[in-house]
Structure 1
């Protein structure tokens, strides 16, 4: 656990005590994507544990906004490995150079509250709540499976090019590799093999692209 994360353990315990057993409080050390979870309270909410991997939203944020000054994102929807909808917020922990090195996350299970609201709104057939209608928009998948995360991220990036991998030009493949490198996919164990399978390429070819990009 890096030194910037350690001081947030007492804050995590404090939040867990205040918010109760329906909210998971979790600390990620983002210097190790493969085993980013270093502290967790109420892990039954997402089904994850210490030593599990980074999430897809974390990778997306690191790719798109890590060079900025955004400190947190609040009130978005996620789902756990059982598909249950959760209500989430994330505070990003930065080092002295402003690089994101960790995150403090809150994931709340409000299923009972949602069921109660559904019953109440059923008594008001003309009532529409915009917040309730957006509950199915998932921004984060709280999976403990690093391979699943890797596959989902690879698919997301490849789909942006609107062309099947077997028809990609070397330039397009280079752009795919750059995007994967920037969001840290190649720091996750087994990712090279998964990328090779998705792009119908050999692993040595993937390593050559990585070397070219990094140099």
Structure 2
């Protein structure tokens, strides 16, 4: 197996864990067209096996992009041997000389998912699973707005400590500001101003607490 292809085996395993049994992950070594399929997860999706050949799309891409820089084709429909419609994306692996030597394909079958979703939708708004709406298990907030990140973190910590800002003791202020510092809040530009406003303190006071924590 080509060395560039081997590096993608663990990525294929990772994608298999993340995407689950409805998505086929297939790895082609395109230095050997006769038996290009060298690794496959959830092969039941397309019923292909190790040792199989590349598809028409792969061959057409190689012909059109052999000297180009395009790296992938995403979000297109494909069809299995049985005529099943799949949702697909393919990433092409190039070597150090920019030659296409492999491909990592994702082929998803959402037929059963759509049926389940249709059933659940028919029950709404009369039924909503509490687990679906629960925010307690969120470990990462993907909102990249600095102000929102700061305010959300302050609120989370205040709720954790169950503290009302205008009734905080010196020790409680130290605990809260220490927790905010440990979370990296003060690495965000403008965070001191937001923390001061939220905790009903002056900005110089916040800086004094930070200096004390770090000393």
Pairwise TM-score range, normalised by the shorter structure: 0.5 to 0.7
Cα RMSD over matched residues? 1.9
SS at match of 2:112: helix
Structure 1 or 2, whichever has the larger Rg, is: 2
1:134-153 → structure 2 map (5 Å cutoff) = none
Which whole-Å deviations, capped at 9, do the CAs of 1:110-160 have from their partners, x for residues lacking one? Answer: 112344677899xxxxxxxxxxxxxxxxxxxxxxxxxxxxxxxxxxxxxxx
**C-alpha separation in 2, matches of 1:50 and 1:84:** 20
**C-alpha separation in 2, matches of 1:35 and 1:115:** 36
Alignment-derived partner of residue 56 in structure 2: 56
Alignment-derived partner of residue 81 in structure 1: 81
**C-alpha separation in 2, matches of 1:55 and 1:4:** 20
SS at match of 2:45: coil
Alignment-derived partner of residue 30 in structure 1: 30
**C-alpha separation in 2, matches of 1:118 and 1:21:** 20
**C-alpha separation in 1, matches of 2:24 and 2:98:** 26
Is 1:42 the counterpart of 2:48? The answer is no
Is 1:110 the counterpart of 2:110? The answer is yes
Of structures 1 and 2, the one with the larger relative CO (CA 8 A, separation 6+) is 1
SS at match of 1:44: helix
Is 1:101 the counterpart of 2:107? The answer is no
Unaligned 5+ segments in structure 1 are 122-215
Alignment-derived partner of residue 14 in structure 1: 14
Alignment-derived partner of residue 143 in structure 1: none
Query: How many residues are treated as equivalent by the alignment?
Result: 122
**C-alpha separation in 1, matches of 2:3 and 2:13:** 17
